[in-house]
C-alpha cells in the first residue's frame, strides 16, 4: 500500500473515532490533520517508516526523533504497522514490535518490546499484534508474544504470553478475562 493510501486510511480511522464515520478523507485533510496531536504523530511515524523502507535511514531517524521529542512517542523505524492506526494519546508510549495489523488503537504509556536488552531488534524477542486490537493505557506487552485479531488488552496489564483472537486480558501477569468472537 502506498504512503498516500495508508495516510488516508489512518485519517478515515481518526474521523470514525471522533464520531464522523462517513467523512471522506483527502490530502487536504491529511495536511490539516498534522495540526492534531492525535494525528500528527501517526503522520510522522509513517514518514519515518517510509524513509526507512527507501534506505534513507538518517531521515527516518530524524523523523523518529521528532516524534519522541514533540509527542513523547518512541516507535522503532522498522516496525510494520497496518493502516488505520489510532493513537488517542501518545505520551510515554514505546512501540518496538515486529508488526501491528490494521485498525489498532494504542493508548498512552503503553510499552511493546523485548523482555531483555535487544539492541539488534530480534524478531523472536518482539511482539506481533493482529488486526483490530485495542491496548489500554499503561499496558506492557513484552517478548515474542502474539496478540490475536480483535484482542483487547486492559489498562496496566502485563502481557507475557500469547493472547488468543477475540480475548480480553488484564492483570499482572495478564490472564484471559473474557473470550469473545473475532469481528
Reduced 3-state DSSP string for 67-80 = HHHHHCEEECCCCE
Please tell me the distance from the alpha carbon of residue 173 to that of residue 165, in angstroms, as a whole number. 18
Along the 183 residues of the chain, how does pLDDT read in single tens digits? 799 999 999 999 999 988 888 888 888 888 888 888 999 999 999 999 999 999 999 999 999 999 999 999 999 999 999 999 999 998 899 999 999 999 999 999 999 998 887 777 777 889 999 999 999 999 999 999 999 999 999 999 999 999 999 999 999 999 999 998 766
What CATH number does residue 37 fall under?
A: 2.160.10.10
Query: What is the total residue count of the chain?
Result: 183
Long-range contacts of 23-30 (CB under 8 A, 24+ apart): none
Structural domain that includes position 66: 3-179
The DSSP H or E segment spanning 99 is strand 99-100
Could you give the number of structural domains in the chain?
1
Evaluated on CA atoms 13, 17, 22, 11, the torsion sign reads negative
CA 117 to chain centre: 21
pLDDT at residue number 183: 61
Amino acid at each position: 500500500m502506498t504512503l498516500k493510501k495508508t495516510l488516508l486510511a489512518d485519517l478515515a480511522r481518526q474521523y470514525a473515532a471522533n464520531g464522523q464515520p462517513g467523512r471522506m478523507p483527502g490530502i487536504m485533510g491529511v495536511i490539516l490533520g498534522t495540526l492534531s496531536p492525535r494525528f500528527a504523530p501517526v503522520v510522522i511515524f509513517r514518514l519515518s517508516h517510509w524513509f526507512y523502507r527507501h534506505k534513507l535511514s538518517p531521515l527516518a531517524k530524524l523523523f523518529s526523533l521528532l516524534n519522541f521529542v514533540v509527542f513523547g512517542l518512541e516507535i522503532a523505524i522498522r516496525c510494520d504497522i497496518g493502516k488505520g492506526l489510532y493513537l488517542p494519546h501518545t505520551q510515554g508510549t514505546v512501540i518496538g514490535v515486529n508488526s501491528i495489523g490494521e485498525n489498532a488503537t494504542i493508548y498512552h504509556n503503553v510499552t511493546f518490546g523485548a523482555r531483555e536488552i535487544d539492541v539488534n531488534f530480534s524478531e523472536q524477542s518482539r511482539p506481533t499484534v493482529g488486526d483490530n486490537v485495542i491496548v489500554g493505557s499503561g499496558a506492557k506487552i513484552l517478548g515474542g508474544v502474539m496478540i490475536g485479531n480483535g484482542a483487547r488488552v486492559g489498562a496496566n496489564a502485563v502481557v507475557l504470553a500469547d493472547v488468543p483472537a477475540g480475548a480480553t486480558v488484564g492483570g499482572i501477569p495478564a490472564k484471559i478475562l473474557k473470550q469473545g468472537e473475532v469481528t
